Amino acid sequence: MNIRRLRSYLFLFRLYLLTSLSAPVLYAQVGSTELTGEVRDQTRLVIAGATVALTNAQTNQRYGSRTKTGGVYAFTHLKPRVYTLTIEAPGFKRFRQDGLRLATGERVRLDVELVIGDVSETLLVTGETPLLRTETGSLGQVIGNRTILDLPLNGRNFVPLVALSSGVALPPGSSFPRINGGRPRVNEYLYDGISVLQPEPGQVAFFPIIDSIQEFKVEANSPSAEFGRFNGGVINLTTKSGTNELHGSVFEFLRNEALNSRNLFAAATSANPKKPLFRRSQFGFVLGGPLIKDKTFFFADYQGTRQDIGRVRISTVPTLLQR
């Protein structure tokens, strides 16, 4: 009996290895970013066969490519991060650009001009990616991590920040925005390329912890064909992930009636001299770092909410004559 069980376990283990090793790698297009461009010399002639390398500055993950006949290079399915671009070709100085920030849902074009010289020499360029987007006709805006963390949010929900983008309105009393004139429930929400809409139209399954959001992009008009299932706009969100450096934070947000002004319709009385109860505590942490440097990383987050709120209700009681 024990031998049969052992054989069964071995069979299942072999089956697991076979499926895990043979499974294809799937990429979420909408949650990634892309980089493309042309490599030319100082006479504006294209350079074919140049070696192009793109390195993630936070994890040292390296992507390699070569320019095609037209001098074009392209990197797709990239994680939104900061990168270093290096280009080498015989008879030219090595080109390197640091601090190349690629944002969520962006297709960035960066043309490079190589200078004649020895390949052991390096032409170092520092700067941001071009602001003009020529590779796509969509209209949108990226809301960065610093904006997400610094602006005050009631309840720590990122959705009100969508209104920072042009073409977006947040109707009073609504939990969801109107994008490009659409109804609040006809928008698409993507977290790391995966839709989080429930079967009921417009209902979002969950909202990520604010401190775990890296950035999000609001696609307000003319998005590409890879997007679907919406009539208004797309909120394309990217969460944080681990890097080669251990980083994290601990937070606590407190609301208490002692810090609030008194409700106008809840005046103090001899029977109830205190303010209506309002106590909310939101606490948690985020932590990320390396398990194996340059290879395996982790990221974890947690948020707890404790809330006790007294509601003020106003009712009209008929008088004796009205009864």
Which CATH superfamily includes the segment(s) 139-239? TonB-dependent receptor, plug domain (2.170.130.10)
Judge whether residue 87 has pLDDT over 90: yes
Percent of the chain with pLDDT over 70: 87
Place of tokens 């194996």: 292
- Over residues 134-148, mean pLDDT: 82
What is the reported pLDDT for 22?
45
Q: For residue 192, give the nearest of 313, 318, 33, 69 by alpha carbon.
A: 33
- Hey, is 185 helix, strand or coil? helix
What is the reported pLDDT for 5?
63
- Over residues 188-197, mean pLDDT: 88
What is the reported pLDDT for 195?
87
Please give the helix or strand (H or E) that residue 81 lies within, else none.
Answer: none
Please give the helix or strand (H or E) that residue 51 lies within, else none.
Answer: strand 51-56
In the β-sheet with 122-126, what is the strand arrangement from edge to edge?
Answer: 62-66, 51-56, 82-88, 94-101, 122-126
Residue 19: both structure tokens together: 């499926």
**All residues at 6 or more sequence positions from 183 whose CB lies less than 8 Å from its CB, including other chains:** 202, 231, 232
CATH code reported for the domain at 33-126: 2.60.40.1120
Place of tokens 């009681």: 317
Judge whether residue 1 has pLDDT over 60: no
What is the reported pLDDT for 225?
72
Residue 251: both structure tokens together: 């937070």
| Residues 248-307: tens digit of each pLDDT | 999 999 999 888 888 777 778 777 788 888 899 999 999 999 999 999 999 999 999 999
Domain locations in the chain as residue ranges:
33-126, 139-239, 247-309
Would you place residue 135 in the very low, low, confident or very high pLDDT band (cuts 50, 70, 90)?
low
| Residues 279-293: tens digit of each pLDDT | 999 999 999 999 999
- Return d(Cα 53, Cα 50) in angstroms, integer: 10
Q: For residue 250, give the nearest of 170, 317, 304 by alpha carbon.
A: 304
| Residues 216-228: tens digit of each pLDDT | 999 888 777 777 7
| Residues 67-86: tens digit of each pLDDT | 998 999 999 989 999 999 99
- Return d(Cα 63, Cα 85) in angstroms, integer: 10
